[in-house]
Amino acid sequence: MAYVDNTMIIRRDLVANMAELFNDEKLVSNLDRVPLQMAPRNREDADRCCIFKERVIIKEKLIPLLGFELEDDRDELKTLGEYATEALERENPIEKILTVVDEACTACVQNSYIVTNLCKGCVAHPCMMNCPKKAVSWNANGQAQIDPKNCINCGICMNVCPYHSIIFMPVPCENACPVGAISKNEHGKEQIDEEKCIDCGKCITACPFGSIMENSQIVDVMKSLKSEQETIALVAPALYGQFKYKTENVIGAIKELGFHDVIEVAKGANVTTVNEADELLERLEDKAPFMTTSCCPAYVSAVKKHIPMMEQYVSHTKSPMYYTAELAKKQYPNAKLVFIGPCIAKRREGMADPNVDYVMTFEELSGLFTGWHVNIDGNPIELDRSIKNHGRAYAASGGVAQSVLEVKPYVNIKPVIVNGLDKKKINMLKAFAKTGKTSGNFIEVMACEGGCIAGPSSHYDPKTGMKIYQNNLKEFPEDL
């Protein structure tokens, strides 16, 4: 779930600083000053032990924002200006999506249950009596204690304690990852297993130290915008739940950044809906037990890497981004196409799509607005009235199923909505795939709880995003 916290504010400030320096043609000369400006001497509200560690972490976070991997054998004396020079000269962005900033990672202790001072040392001893491994005993103060060598983290002691004095202390990123792709290395720092990772981005929003970063393509996008290269923005339907401004104004602000044209990905979603509905009808006629959606790239990756038995049930229909990019390429054959959305997994999909050149998040878009001093509430642009609102419905969980029902109301479609992926939902999908049975015949899966509105690079939590989204759609009735 996306929400606003200080680590996100820091990341957005870094993007805005980079964007401003790029706009002023000072990225190479002045980028090394950003850590000093953000962590000045005599700072009273320092978050770390000292300003020097703070500055190192800021530098380390700027490297992936410039589009580089934080490799273990990198030259630590290499300046940000040197990285910026390479970023400006490179032809293509790197393929790795996520990176861990070791200096920011606090090496959280392993997931464990801890007895707090709330323990009353009660006579009932339910924690000790019910522990299957006899890991609970009493200390000299007459309070419970847990032996970590014997504890198997079953949680029974926490559940039976009448005073709620036992708590679960998680490793936030590991706990949030639905596929177990994050673990500790020999130094106690977190590492991401590329073979398991589905790029859902849950670890980014879960880490309270902001130690997991995207390898951004924003420098590549800014280069294209400042060049004579025709550049087209493909904006995800989740845009409707991202900014507290009318969508016409936000799209106008995007165009003001230098994009030749701004195309709503809802246009491609209309194509996806029709194809999805036709494919579902065809599969049901062939007696298939069910079909799942294919527009969430994190889910598609989860199937390929962790639920291979489910592949036979996944729709062959392409995502809205794919169809929109296809339409845009026909209209602008020589242009660079930039997908803008709330999703990190779209970076992977964009790399595989021959028509998509770069992927930028809404978080980066906001930083670009700030750094380039663009007034979002300035110049509205009339929205594409040919787009049906069921394409814009893809932004919220349940929206794809709603769209298919709207296009094929006469078909006996029974949706099953999987609203967000976690370990339990992954196991549930495995059971569906193994048995070929579920309560419906059309399974819509969104990796993010709430849908794309709540993607890892969104501005608001699902509730706030949904409210903004619904208000924006109310103000834009479609022309039938």
Q: What is the DSSP string of 335-366?
A: SEEEEEES-SHHHHHHHH-TT--EEEEHHHHH
Q: What is the pLDDT of residue 232?
A: 98
Residue 479's pLDDT is 45
112-169 and 220-474 have identical folds: no
Q: What percent of the chain is helix, strand and coil (3-state, nearest 5)?
A: 45, 10, 45
- For domain 220-474, give the CATH number: 3.40.50
Q: Hey, how many other C-beta atoms are within 10 angstroms of the C-beta on 431?
A: 11
Amino acid at 403: S
Angle of helix 320-331 relative to helix 266-285, nearest 10 degrees, comes to: 130
The DSSP annotation for 59-77 comes to HHHHHHHTT----TT--TT
Boundaries of every domain in the chain: 6-104+178-215, 112-169, 220-474
- Quick check: pTM over 0.95? no
CA distance linking residue 137 with residue 135, whole number of Å: 7
CA distance 353 to 254: 23
- Model pLDDT, residue 480: 35
Paired with 264 in beta bridges are 235
The DSSP H or E segment spanning 247 is helix 247-256
Q: What is residue 423's predicted lDDT score, i.e. its pLDDT?
A: 95
Residue type, 193: D
pLDDT, averaged in runs of 10, over the chain (480 residues): 73 96 97 94 70 92 95 87 96 91 80 90 94 93 91 94 93 93 86 95 92 95 96 96 91 96 96 95 94 96 97 97 98 97 95 96 95 91 88 92 88 92 96 94 95 88 84 63
Give the torsion through C-alpha atoms of 218, 46, 182, 65, to 10 deg.
10
- Both tokens of 290, joined, read 């069910």
Please, how many CA atoms are within 13 Å of residue 144, restricted to the half-sphere of its CB? 33
pLDDT of residue 458: 86
Answer CATH for 112-169 from 3.40.50.300, 3.30.70.20, 3.40.1260.10, 3.40.50.10490: 3.30.70.20
